[in-house]
Amino acid sequence: MNSPLSLLPFLLPLLSTPLSRGASNETSATPLMSRIVPAPATSKIPVTDTYHGESIRDDYRWLEEAESPEVKAWTEAQNHYSRTCLDALPDRAKIEAQLTALYAQDTPSHSGIVSSPGRLFALKFQPPKQQRLLVTLTSAEDLASEQIVLDPNEIEPKGQVAMDWYVPSPDGELIAVCLSENGSEDGTLHFFRTATGEHLPDRVPRVQYPTGGGSVAWTPDSRAVFYTRYPHAGERPEADLNFYQQIYFHRLGTQTRDDEYSAGRDFPRIAEIQLDTSADGRWLLASVANGDGGEFSHSIRETQDGAAWRQITQHQDAIKQIAFSHDGTHLYLRSVKNAPRGRVLRLPITAALSEAQEIIPESEAVIEDILPTAHHLFVSDLIGGPSRLRQFDLNGKAESEVPLPTASGAGGLVDLAGRLLFRQTSYVTPAAWMIYDPATAEVHRSALFNTSPVDFSDIEVLRDHATSKDGTRIPINILRRKGTPLDGNNPTLLTGYGGYGISQRPGFNFEHRLWLDRGGIYVVANLRGGGEYGEEWHLAGNLTKKQNVFDDMAACAQHLIEQGFTCSEKLAIEGGSNGGLLMGALLTQHPALVRAVVSHVGIYDMLRVELDPNGAFNVTEFGSVTDPDQFRALRAYSPYHHVTDGTAYPAVFFLAGETDGRVNPAHSRKMTARLQAASASPAPVLLRLSSASGHGMGTALSERIAQHADVLAFLFDQLGMTTDSP
């Protein structure tokens, strides 16, 4: 049985090369929130597991039992303790009022746009409404044409019903919508008439769950759908009910018990299926992810009755995306095989993959997305964070570039009858949907744009680089007020993610104004594990190379200190989900590097994460304890197992959701208990466990505002950010 002392062999390499807190010209104000009031005591009930001959003790395994009375009582006590600490801060109520007022002034924003004959569909976020609406427009340049199809706020006024996704029928007359409750992402498929909003009687359960998501595709006659389906109770053991996603077929007006199986019995246990159809509805494509690690296979069939599926690609083919040509005769494939930054292939729709021809070779940019239209092929690139848009003919020739502002982001490509609609973003300018006309090579703003309730004209963005432990240059994006002195004394919030090939692209958030107005600096790091420089950048930060991500983040923090932006007493870090794992690794590996840590819906026990339903989907990204080499890598950084008694840890604020199907909130419960027992510093360790949210998707606006108010109040207190900061 391991005692805490047995962790020393893993910690010694870290302790032998400590990172300096850095110099400060000013002593931070003493936080009002400290551990004067002790945290609730947590019982230790030791359990020992053996992995590859190594015994590992877990004192807080009992906190994994979410439904036990003891865990419910413990959670209530922790929430009460956190509320006592947070509500005592004089700024807390003021911050929530500020955020509420800003959202009340915010303009509506549109996302998830789908083009249909004669109309556009979009999800509309319109504060102070709690959830997004589903609307139609006749044009992206005519807001007056907007019509509401579905308002979930009328179904449940407190915002506990959310739309996970929607798909219009080919004729645009009907819409399939996945609805879930309390941020759970446990979705049921509903159908509505576009013109009237009439709710049809069909209900298709189990189409969506956080483990593998969900999807639907219509037949050409708009009378039936192919859909993803999880096993129903009794079809598989209970432990497998959120696995083995398959494809079924439903005709409107029939009973779901009569729905037909279509495909998926040979798919992986951790399959994640995305369905898509050609513009004419003739062809159906199933993109099947092998969990979350970035491996895909693809199968295709005609939508007509009795057609057979044909597999086009396998995991080893390294095809990340397939798009139909406008006329449905060809497929365009985004490949990373022997081209980690991506290349584009073209394949006749009935041909084998061996007949695919390369039409756009790999370049210095990372290809993120492709969109074929009737006469052009548009390619969205990423260059370390900012975006580039290129236009080609359908054979990959006649290349030109769509004009974009410097250091901006571009995504959400939509075909508007040959013109290109895309969403343009930056750190200091609200997002706008832009229209590019190939005939004139000009870009103009559509009517779908945001304005900000606050001004950012005094904010500048610096693009810098830190050098990681192995010499790799890591981009960092620094937002600050113009003229901010480099005196090592600025409150600074550093955030990162570093996983799944997900890129941290430029994006605007008016909430940052509250941070900047108190003299704060906001920093976004483009860490390995993401996709900013392609598949090599991703693979350099996953599986047994995950430690690179943590080294990158530590290097970014140290760089900010060394360059005079801040000091350790004025530095905080924040991240969520995989970024929450990042927070746990940083605070356990470098406890003296930062003053405060905020971690949302994080993963901390890396030896048991794969036992959760969604944890199994993450094995292709993190690895498995069943593999000796992967176990050693997981063991070496697992935050929960590297909390050391008697260490002066920084202030930590954990946030999690009770209905989270992506990351088990037990991770936050166990990490909170372990840190509260171990820390030798007076800094608080708080847990906010919400019963009204899950992983973040579908969370009501009021709950989001309350969470952010708690986070800002916590950080302002810990970093001494008073209202009269310069």
The two beta strands, 246-251 and 419-425, are unpaired
Positions in the chain whose pLDDT score sits under 50: 1-28, 726
Vertex 492: Cα angle to 488 and 498 (nearest 5): 125
Q: Are 121 and 166 in contact (CB under 8 A)?
A: yes
d(CA 353, CA 333): 10
Helices (H) and strands (E) in the chain, counts: 13, 38
Q: Given this structure, which CATH class describes domain 4-101+454-718? A: alpha beta
pLDDT of residue 645: 97
Q: Are 506 and 385 in contact (CB under 8 A)?
A: yes
Residue 684 DSSP code = -
pLDDT of residue 36: 62
Closest C-alpha to 366, from 387, 392, 397: 387
Closest C-alpha to 688, from 600, 603, 604, 618: 600
The secondary structure element, H or E, covering residue 124 is: strand 119-125
pLDDT of residue 26: 39
Sequence spans of domains, the chain = 4-101+454-718, 109-221+251-264, 365-451
Measured CA distances, 326 to 285, 344, 355, 401, 724 (Å): 14, 16, 20, 21, 58
pLDDT of residue 35: 62
* DSSP per-residue letters across 159-227: S-EEEEEEEE-TTSSEEEEEEEETT---EEEEEEETTT--B-S--EEEEEBTTTB--EEE-TTSSEEEE
Q: Are 583 and 254 in contact (CB under 8 A)?
A: no
Alpha helices in 619-700 (DSSP H): 619-622, 628-637, 666-678
d(CA 505, CA 422): 15
Q: Which two tokens stand for residue 570?
A: 């004025």
pLDDT of residue 517: 95
The secondary structure element, H or E, covering residue 437 is: strand 432-437
pLDDT of residue 722: 82
Vertex 183: Cα angle to 181 and 184 (nearest 5): 75
Q: Are 295 and 542 in contact (CB under 8 A)?
A: no
What contacts 620, CB < 8 A, 6 or more positions away?
270, 290, 291, 292, 293, 294, 295
Quick one: CATH architecture of 109-221+251-264?
A: 7 Propeller (2.130)
The 10 Å CB-count burial string (b at 16+, else e) for 233-245 is: eeeeeeeebbbbb
pTM of full prediction above 0.85: yes
Place of tokens 């207190």: 717
Q: What sign for the dihedral angle of Cα 193, 197, 202, 203?
A: positive
d(CA 249, CA 91): 54
